[in-house]
């Protein structure tokens, strides 16, 4: 039997030795090196040729739109950040220093997440024209290198900032570091969720608006610079998959480190506070190797090139992490100096190695699995393309089938990894830490993962620049089409790996939630007062099942709100583009430019307005369940969101990816090619899949972690209000009612918001 007691109070006695401090400082230096290499890669990208004046003009329009988007988004999100910063002071803390540190590092986490999003957006909007120019004049290898090194720059910035923030907190706070890092992770996760949802709504609203007014009403091509919404659509690709995904993976990085340090300090003491920093630091070094060795070969596809670099960097990470564990960690649990694990059988170094390798192998398996279900060269996507011969309905059915099936296999693989790590120790304390370490192992691949993801929208935008300029050769256009198809698959792969990081981090935070409950109960001096039972006793109650059902329902509601928001946000785009065609002379003749920034600013405003409802749902739903039903149902709620969110996110992402690449297969000439009935059927499938894969699906990843972090943060307050007299019960219920009212009001407003898709 596993020991079902977490070492809730072990962190209070933590202290770092001189050598431990040296290691943490070295980790911080590795983070700085990552930022330096990121800057070097950025300079290399910017040094590449920018193509013809026409191509540069189009790229400048995308950059203008990006600037308008970022200005509006950060101005709006700053209000949410300030409010949460103030609310964090109200939550219980062991000391004033901890409360201040948690709130300050919440701001730092949010700021770092915003910085990563800005970096991804800024560089990607400048790399697109360079990739197009390279494909036109220098060939596939050079074009692919520019696109991947752009992503590598963003990836190393992501890992560098995440690691630097964690190292600074550990050095500054030591025993209070886990609690302070809760704020750091929450700031990163909250901002990433808003950027992910907003970016998804943005890009799809712009896409619909561009099609309705440009292609249908004005009869101009899809990627025509005379259509301001088309430029906004190109900006949207960067909003969702460069800025949004980079921020998303940064918060995955931060939140996984938070969970690792909380559980590591309980299980391994000071060693558990340092080793989770060593593992991702190794990942930084291997990411640098992975980025620089990525070179296309004439005899292989671009996806094979990227996958090879990923496998090599993952293998190097596994070897170096094993060496680090053997050198740094003791050979038996007694040498850790932690009472809760003293006398346990096994070798801490060996089980830590196995846990890290489980995480690395998980990333590799998901890379292969997602690629199989979404790549243009594999059977599932080919089958979806073939179904276009019988119409749009069969395309939709085939894509949904792919999504359902792939979700099952992906969930089973993730579950196997989680349970495999859990079985590494007979102590629940150590077992949960091993799950967190598996997450750290997966983090060693984040630098390359971000590079893979950013590669997608850059290739897509490069193809758009080429088509709009009309100055790219036939061979150059073919290169860009191939890179775009590879980018679709890499985006799907990174979304699969991102949800895996979310599950590992959320499972580890689930243990942190248990730890927070037990700690709060112990401080209250009672295990059961006024009906409160400890976390482990409430798991089997009917209330927990109710919580699970509510958690699953929230994932469905969140997804529905995100998809529905796309259709509503598109209306303002339609009206603004119509106005510009009507009131600005010379647009159709090409003698006057549209107001690109105006359209992007409108889409930004509306997308941020639309994301308020799913954002409020994510924050207030766990508050309503926790204060209204108690700690046990809240545990069930978290379990329901993790399980349902995993399946839903993979289903949405892979269905959309298969529809998108099926369309590309038809556009390449099979089943009649462009303009054929088969092409029309796959276009419909791709239109359905866009909000699946670019709006709702990716947003579930930060959603899961936001709700878990909110639960960890409010757990002590729930316990303190549950243990006490009836007035505390009244206050607890009042808080729950307020949360429910906020959620219901937000949903009601969203439902009543009139659609403006029609004048």
What average pLDDT does this structure show over 35-56? Answer: 87
Residue 550's pLDDT is 92
Residue 622's pLDDT is 92
Residue 727's pLDDT is 59
Euclidean distance between CA atoms 156 and 380, whole angstroms: 33
Residue 522's pLDDT is 67
What average pLDDT does this structure show over 434-443? Answer: 88
Model confidence band, residue 425 (pLDDT cutoffs 50, 70, 90): confident
Q: What count of residues does the chain have? A: 759
Residue 474's pLDDT is 77
Query: For the segment 479-504, what is each residue's pLDDT rounded down to a tens digit?
Result: 887 787 777 777 777 777 878 887 88
Whether residue 326 is predicted with pLDDT greater than 70 in this model: the reply is yes
Task: Give residues with Cβ within 8 angstroms of 693, minimum separation 6.
Answer: 491, 492, 495, 652, 653, 654, 655, 656, 657, 660
Query: For the segment 622-632, what is each residue's pLDDT rounded down to a tens digit?
Result: 999 989 888 88
What average pLDDT does this structure show over 558-582? Answer: 82
Angle between helices 697-722 and 726-752 (to 10 degrees): 160
User: What distance lies between CA 356 and its chain's CA centroid?
Assistant: 21
- Please answer whether residues 309 and 255 qualify as being in contact, where contact means their C-beta atoms are separated by less than 8 angstroms: no
Query: For the segment 122-178, what is each residue's pLDDT rounded down to a tens digit?
Result: 888 888 888 888 888 787 788 888 888 888 898 888 888 888 988 888 888 877 777
Tokens of 406: 């792939």
Residue 397's pLDDT is 92
Whether residue 8 is predicted with pLDDT greater than 50 in this model: the reply is no
Of 79-83, 257-261, 436-440, 443-447, where does the model show the most confidence?
436-440
Residue 210's pLDDT is 74
What average pLDDT does this structure show over 568-591? Answer: 81
Closest to 280 (Cα-Cα) out of 346, 324, 240: 324
3-state DSSP helix/strand/coil percent for the chain, to nearest 5?
A: 85, 0, 15
- Please answer whether residues 705 and 189 qualify as being in contact, where contact means their C-beta atoms are separated by less than 8 angstroms: yes
Residue of higher predicted confidence among 268 and 499 = 268
What average pLDDT does this structure show over 29-50? Answer: 90
Residue 533's pLDDT is 47
Q: Residue 3: what are its φ and ψ, rounded to 5°?
A: -70, 115
Question: Kind and range of the H or E element at 676?
Answer: none
* pTM (predicted TM-score): 0.82
Q: Residue 611: what are its φ and ψ, rounded to 5°?
A: -80, -10
Whether residue 510 is predicted with pLDDT greater than 80 in this model: the reply is no
Whether residue 2 is predicted with pLDDT greater than 50 in this model: the reply is no
Whether residue 79 is predicted with pLDDT greater than 90 in this model: the reply is no
> Exposed/middle/buried for 751, CB within 10 Å: 0-12, 13-18, 19+?
exposed
Whether residue 586 is predicted with pLDDT greater than 50 in this model: the reply is yes
Residue of higher predicted confidence among 514 and 264 = 264
C-alpha triplet 334, 337, 343: angle, nearest 5°: 30
Model confidence band, residue 351 (pLDDT cutoffs 50, 70, 90): very high
Residue 454's pLDDT is 81
Whether residue 758 is predicted with pLDDT greater than 50 in this model: the reply is no
Residue 54's pLDDT is 81
Range in 93-97, 446-450, 617-621 with the lowest mean pLDDT: 93-97
Whether residue 205 is predicted with pLDDT greater than 90 in this model: the reply is no
For the chain, the average pLDDT equals 81
Model confidence band, residue 525 (pLDDT cutoffs 50, 70, 90): low
Euclidean distance between CA atoms 366 and 47, whole angstroms: 35
Query: For the segment 390-418, what is each residue's pLDDT rounded down to a tens digit?
Result: 888 999 999 999 999 999 998 899 999 99
What average pLDDT does this structure show over 650-669? Answer: 86
What average pLDDT does this structure show over 499-522? Answer: 74
Query: For the segment 736-752, what is each residue's pLDDT rounded down to a tens digit?
Result: 999 999 999 888 887 77
Residue 219's pLDDT is 64
- Please answer whether residues 423 and 120 qualify as being in contact, where contact means their C-beta atoms are separated by less than 8 angstroms: no
Largest CA distance in the chain: 81
Whether residue 33 is predicted with pLDDT greater than 90 in this model: the reply is yes
Euclidean distance between CA atoms 457 and 245, whole angstroms: 11
Residue 86's pLDDT is 84
Residue 298's pLDDT is 67
User: What distance lies between CA 556 and its chain's CA centroid?
Assistant: 18
Query: For the segment 292-325, what is each residue's pLDDT rounded down to a tens digit?
Result: 887 777 667 777 788 888 888 889 999 999 999 9
Tokens of 423: 């079985």
First to last CA, the chain: 66
What average pLDDT does this structure show over 630-655? Answer: 88
Euclidean distance between CA atoms 412 and 579, whole angstroms: 51
Euclidean distance between CA atoms 271 and 288, whole angstroms: 26
Query: For the segment 693-749, what is each residue's pLDDT rounded down to a tens digit?
Result: 888 888 888 888 888 888 888 888 888 787 755 557 788 889 999 999 999 988 888
Buried b (16+ CB within 10 A) or exposed e, 49-65: eebbeebbebbbbbbbb
């Amino acid at each position: 039997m596993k020991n079902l007691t977490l070492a809730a109070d072990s962190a209070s006695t933590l202290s770092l030795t001189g050598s431990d401090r040296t290691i943490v400082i070295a980790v911080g230096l590795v983070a700085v090196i990552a930022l330096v290499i990121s800057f070097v890669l950025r300079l290399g990208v910017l040094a590449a040729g920018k193509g013809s004046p026409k191509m540069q003009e189009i790229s400048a329009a995308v950059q203008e739109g990006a600037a308008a988007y970022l200005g509006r988004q950060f101005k709006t999100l700053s209000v949410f950040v300030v409010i949460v910063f103030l609310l964090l002071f109200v939550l219980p803390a062991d000391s004033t220093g901890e409360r201040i540190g948690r709130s300050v590092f919440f701001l730092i986490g949010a700021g770092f997440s915003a910085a990563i999003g800005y970096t991804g957006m800024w560089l990607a909007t400048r790399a697109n024209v360079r990739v197009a120019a390279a494909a036109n004049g220098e060939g596939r290898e050079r074009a692919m290198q520019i696109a991947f090194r752009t992503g590598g720059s963003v990836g190393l910035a992501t890992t560098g900032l995440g690691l630097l923030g964690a190292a600074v907190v550990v050095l500054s706070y030591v025993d209070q570091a886990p609690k302070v890092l809760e704020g750091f992770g929450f700031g990163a996760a909250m901002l990433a969720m808003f950027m992910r949802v907003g970016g998804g709504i943005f890009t799809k609203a712009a896409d619909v608006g561009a099609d309705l007014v440009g292609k249908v009403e004005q009869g101009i091509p899809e990627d025509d610079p005379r259509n301001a919404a088309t430029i906004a659509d190109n900006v949207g690709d960067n909003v969702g998959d460069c800025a949004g995904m980079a921020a998303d993976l940064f918060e995955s990085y931060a939140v996984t480190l938070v969970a690792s340090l909380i559980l590591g300090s309980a299980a391994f003491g000071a060693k558990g506070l340092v080793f989770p920093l060593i593992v991702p630091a190794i990942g930084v070094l291997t990411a640098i190797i992975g980025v620089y060795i990525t070179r296309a070969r004439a005899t292989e596809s671009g996806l094979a090139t990227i996958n090879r670099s990923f496998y090599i960097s993952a293998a190097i990470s596994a070897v170096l992490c094993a060496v680090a564990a053997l050198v740094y960690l003791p050979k038996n649990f007694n040498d850790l100096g932690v009472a809760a694990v003293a006398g346990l059988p096994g070798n801490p170094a060996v089980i830590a190695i196995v846990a890290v390798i489980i995480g690395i192998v998980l990333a590799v398996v998901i890379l292969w699995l997602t690629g199989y279900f979404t790549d243009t060269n594999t059977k599932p996507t080919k089958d979806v393309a073939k179904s276009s011969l019988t119409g749009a309905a069969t395309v939709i059915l085939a894509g949904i089938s792919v999504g359902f099936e792939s979700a099952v296999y992906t969930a089973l693989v993730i579950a196997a990894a989680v349970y495999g790590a859990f079985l590494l120790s007979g102590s629940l304390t150590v077992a949960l830490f091993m799950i967190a370490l598996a997450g750290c192992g997966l983090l060693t691949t984040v630098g390359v993962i971000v590079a893979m993801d950013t590669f997608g929208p850059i290739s897509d935008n490069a193809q758009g620049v080429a088509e709009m300029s009309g100055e790219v050769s036939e061979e150059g256009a073919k290169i860009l089409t191939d890179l775009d198809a590879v980018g679709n698959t890499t985006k799907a792969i990174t979304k699969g790996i991102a949800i895996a990081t979310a599950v590992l981090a959320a499972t580890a935070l689930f243990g942190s939630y248990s730890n927070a409950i037990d700690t709060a109960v112990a401080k209250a001096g009672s295990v059961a007062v006024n009906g409160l039972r400890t976390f482990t006793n409430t798991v089997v109650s009917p209330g927990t099942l109710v919580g699970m059902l509510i958690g699953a329902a929230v994932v469905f509601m969140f997804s529905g709100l995100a998809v529905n928001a796309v259709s509503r946000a598109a209306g303002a785009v339609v009206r603004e583009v119509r106005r510009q065609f009507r009131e600005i002379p010379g647009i159709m003749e090409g003698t006057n430019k549209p107001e690109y920034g105006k359209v992007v600013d409108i889409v930004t405003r509306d997308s941020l307005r639309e994301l308020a409802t799913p954002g409020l749902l994510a924050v207030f739903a766990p508050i309503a369940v926790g204060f209204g039903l108690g700690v046990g149902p809240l545990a069930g709620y978290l379990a329901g969101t993790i399980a349902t969110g995993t399946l839903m996110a993979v289903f949405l992402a892979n269905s959309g990816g298969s529809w998108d690449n099926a369309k590309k297969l038809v556009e390449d000439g099979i089943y009649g090619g462009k303009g054929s009935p088969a092409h029309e059927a796959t276009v419909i499938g791709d239109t359905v899949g866009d909000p699946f894969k670019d709006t709702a699906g990716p947003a579930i990843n930060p959603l899961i972690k936001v709700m878990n972090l909110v639960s960890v943060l409010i757990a002590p307050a729930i316990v303190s209000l549950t243990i006490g007299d009836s007035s505390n019960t009244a206050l607890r219920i009042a808080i729950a009612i307020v949360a429910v009212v906020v959620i219901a009001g937000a949903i009601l407003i969203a439902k009543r918001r009139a659609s403006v898709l029609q004048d």
